[in-house]
Structure formats: C-alpha cells, structure tokens
Structure 1
Amino acid sequence: MSSFKIAELLLEPGTTIIDEGQRHPQLYTALAGWGFRYKILEDGRRQILNYVLPGDLIGLQGNLMSEMLHSVEALTKMTLCVFERERLTSLFQNHPSLAYDLTWIASREESILDEHLLSVGRRTALERAAYLLAFLDHRAQATGVFPEEGPKVLPLTQQHVADTLGLSLVHTNKTLRRLSDAGVVRWLDRGSEVLERGKLFDIAGWQPSVEGMRPFI
C-alpha cells in the first residue's frame, strides 16, 4: 500500500473533492475528518447520500462507471491518501486479499444505503432525525474521529440534516428541537452532541449492526 500511495492531500471545509460527471484520475482513502457524498437536481436542490469518515474510499465508483454519478465535498478539514486509479487492477492482481477488503467496504456501504432508504421512505421525521444522529455518532465512535477530550460533536449544520433527511429546513429545525427538548441531543454552533445514546436508538427504532474489524486500505 505504501508503494501504491502517491501523496497525502490536506483539504479545507467546503472543498469539492470530486464533481459529478467527472472522470477522476485519482482514488482516495479518507485518513482524517468528515466529508459527504451528494447529488444536485437541476433546480439546485441537494440530496446528501452519505457521509465520509476515516477509512472510507472516495471515487471507487469511477472505476466501474464511465464517470462519477455523485459529488463529494469536505465537511471539515480532511486528510486524504491519494492513489492512482489506473494501478488499482494491478494492485489486486498482486495482492488478492485487498480485493476482499474492497468487497467488504463496498458491501458495508450498500447496507448503509439500504438503511438510509428505509429511513427516508418509512420513518417519521422524528425517527429519521434520531436515526441519522445515532448512526453518525456510532460511526464516529467506531472510527475514532472524535477527540479524546471535550464534546463529541457531529459537525453537521441543520441544512446538512435537512438535505440528508429530505425535509424542509423549517421542519428539520422543529424536529431537532424536539430531540433537544427531550434531552437526548444538544445542538451547538455548527453541530450537535449526542447526550443519551440509548434513548436516541429507541426513538429511531434502530440498533447498530454487529460487524467484524473493518479493513483499512
């Protein structure tokens, strides 16, 4: 992997990593920070598809499609490991175990998207918001992205939450206020902190799945 890696890239919040419709020559692994994948409709409305945390691959879709079908943006300061896309096939040929690791990551991403679709399609607004915050809090804990000291803040604005849940900003604000009033989350400047994880899981009707050690490419 050290020979396959060509650089590390430091990004500021708001930096576009990949644009929808591009054929990007690089593939990335997130080493630190938060990002998000999204699509934009013709009228400018944005749908956030998922969030990128350390260990996630960025740009793999471009290996299978002629172009990227979504965009990726840095939510916080990020550090990316940069790979040459064209060398990916030879890497798998010489190191077959990496093909399994890549399959594991892709399969996990698919299961996450399944749960997100269930949330948007069937959960109430309150359940959707609780699920999103519980899911991201759990992923942040699992990946070690939270600082050891101080508040464990999810760095999402209410607009990010609205664009993820498919709700208006007004409806999102009212829904998040209900969670705050219930004492399960605390809304901060540009983020929120989960205070009662168990209660948040109960409101969402969701529990984290049990999975083995995540491969890190």
Structure 2
Amino acid sequence: MTKEQDIARGSLSCAKCPLRKREIFRVFEADELSFVEHFKKGDLAVRRGATLLVEGAHNPHLYTVRSGWGFRYKLLEDGRRQIVNYVMPGDLVGLQGSLMGEMQHSVEALSPMQLCVFEKAELFTLYERFPGLAYDITWLASREECMLDEHLLTVGRRTAVEKVAYLLAFVLDRAKESGLSSNGTLELTQQHVADTLGISLVHTNKTIARLVDRKYVKWEDGGCRILNPEGLGELAGWMSGSSAKRPFL
C-alpha cells in the first residue's frame, strides 16, 4: 500500500455491504458474517491511477474490491508492461503476497476504488474455524487460474482480431456480472488492450478499427461501447462461463 493510502476505521458494516444485494454472490451464514466483520479492519479508498500493490513489496493486508476496478500487471526492466488480469467488485486482492511472502505483481486502479481491508495474520484462523470460507478462497484462486489459462491461450494462439474480440467480450462479461457496466460501456484505453494482449499499440488500433467497421464496437473518448458482445464471443471462439452463485469475502 502506498503512502497516500490510509485505511479508514469505523468502516461499512459487512451486513450492509452492497455486494450482498447482487444475485451473483452467495449468502453468508450468520457465523461466517460475524467472523468476516471481525476479520475486516477497515475500508480503503484508492484514486484512479493509484498503485494499490507493488511487485516485490510485503503487505500485511488482503483486500476485497467493493466498487470500481483495476488491473494486475508485471513490468520488465525497460518499462514494458504486461497486464495479466482485471480486478472487479467481489474479487480478492493480495492473497498471493500473503501466501508467497511478497507480491509477484502490481495492482493499479482503473477507476476510483473502494476496498475492504483484512489482516492477513488472521487468515489461518479463517482456515481453521470456517472451512466454508476457506473453500471460498480456494474457489477464487482456482477461478483466477482458469481465467489465466484462457488469457494464455489468447496471447499464444488467437489471431489479433480474435484476441481483441475475446478481451472485450471477457471484460464486459465480468463487468456486467459485478455491476460495473449496464450499458456495454468499458472505460478501457487502447493502450490497456495492447498491454493485455502483448501486441503493439499500432496493431491494436488497426485491429479495433476492423471491429468498428463490422459494428461490433464503437470506440469513444475514455473507452469503448460494445455493440455486439455475442458476436465478439463468437468471433473469438469464447463463451461466458457458468452464472452460478460465486463467493466473496
């Protein structure tokens, strides 16, 4: 956590968490909710463009994204950036640093974010006393692995137009699920697209122009509007996963 970020005490009660109102998230048992209330140490507000976590750093906290979104990335020594995934409401951030000792990637906010803060020192208590919540964390880690499998397939084997189609369909699907987008609009720049897919900005621009010409997307100031998400998924050979309820902390 950077110096300008301060954890706010007296935080929002977990019982009043807005994520609990969304159909996609599972319902806590009463004893689980009580523990999570204790496990949580405060709230954190992060401005757009701020770095939440830094690769190589040690951090005593875990975070659940309550609102807003960001991306996980790694940097080469010459400054080249690879975005490895996007974090959205309900996602757990910082688990890797808790289990591996230090962060293996960085996290930057794409929009203003609100996060719930948990002390990683109490993580073992969760595993010891609440196997249901421990399973939830395992589920979240497994889900992340599945998404990274699909990203690797995209970077390695899909054509440029399939890559961009996949990424836009995938991000929009997750944004709708978490309540970030209701009208098909994504605040995503072409540089983010290029850095996720490992292709040049010029190539990204030309590829997006092909999708614009085919009326799949409309690129606007500050992002893009997806006009035909089903068509993008079909073009990429990708379809959304299960809509079954998912866990969060």
Residues 11-53 of structure 1, C-alpha deviations (whole Å, 9 max, x = no match): 1111100000001111100001110000000111000000000
Provide the C-alpha distance between the structure 1 equivalents of 2:114 and 2:37, rounded to a whole number of angstroms.
16
Q: How far apart in 1 are the matches of 2:55 and 2:144?
A: 19
Return the match for 1:85 from 120, 140, 143.
120
Shift of 1:211: 4.7
* Structure 2 gaps, min length 5: 1-35
Aligned 8 A contact 2:46 2:114 in 1: yes
What does residue range 139-178 of structure 1 map to in structure 2 within 5 Å?
A: 139-147=174-182, 151-178=183-210
TM superposition score normalised by structure 1: 0.96
Aligned equivalent of 1:110:
145
- Post-superposition offset of 1:154: 1.0
Output the amino acid matched with 1:134. A
Aligned to 1:208: 240
Amino acid at match of 1:83: F
d(CA) in 2 for partners of 1:132 and 1:32?
21
Q: 1:1-217 residue pairs with structure 2 within 5 A? A: 1-147=36-182, 151-217=183-249
- Local SS of the residue matching 2:38: coil
1:66 deviation in Å? Answer: 2.2
Q: More displaced, 197-206 or 15-24?
A: 197-206
CA distance in 2 between counterparts of 1:37 and 1:197 reads 24
Q: Quick check: 2:56–2:105 contact (8 Å CA) kept in 1? A: yes
CA RMSD, aligned part only? 1.0
SS at match of 1:187: strand
Once the two structures are overlaid, the 10-residue window that deviates more, 205-214 or 71-80, is 205-214
The 2-side partners of 1:198 and 1:107 are apart by: 26
* TM-score between both structures, scaled by the size of structure 2: 0.84
Question: After TM superposition, what 4+ stretches of structure 1 lie above 6 angstroms from structure 2?
Answer: none
Moved more, 118-127 or 136-145: 136-145
Structure 2 letter corresponding to 1:47: Q
